[in-house]
Amino acid sequence: MKYMKFKLLLLYLIVFLSACSTNKNAESSNTVDENCTRTKSVATISTSDMDDGTSARIAMVGGYTEQRDLTEDEKILFEQTYKDELQLSPVSVAIQIVAGINYRFICKTEENRNYEVIIYKPLRGNATVSSVSKIK
């Protein structure tokens, strides 16, 4: 287990050091499908040649992760931070590590309209809503 953690740490370090260089395996997309999974401005590197035969997809430094299901903590963060007349229900989240964490929530209304809510949680202090925008 320690060896796997070391390999992942080494992989993250390699990605961090190569973030400024051009990578032929980098992908970027901006889509919303019927399941409200959105990958806006996500840059990832696919690695499949690890020594033990496993593969991984990791986000490039500075980019958002892929949209995924919310954890309980993320649901609580959304409920405590988002206070607006629009009744939004979060369906997925992506995160971006900055000087804190940006959470990009994809939400639905009762009328089945999609919205993107960005919540910024600084290292110290309270989370705040940075933006709310309708997704076309």
- How do residues 64-107 score in pLDDT, each as one tens digit? 999 999 999 999 999 999 998 889 999 999 999 998 999 999 99
82, 70 contact by CB (below 8 A): no
53 has a pLDDT exceeding 80: no
C-alpha to C-alpha distance for 108 and 121, rounded to whole angstroms: 22
Q: Is residue 109 part of a domain?
A: yes
Q: Is residue 67 part of a domain?
A: no
- The reply to whether 47 and 79 lie within a common domain is no
Tokens of residue 121, six digits = 């949680």
Structural domain containing residue 104: 72-134
- The reply to whether 6 and 34 lie within a common domain is yes
| Closest of 16, 19, 18, 64 to residue 42, by C-alpha | 64
The domain tally of the chain equals: 2
pTM value is: 0.59
**Which of the pair, 132 or 18, is modelled with greater confidence?**
132
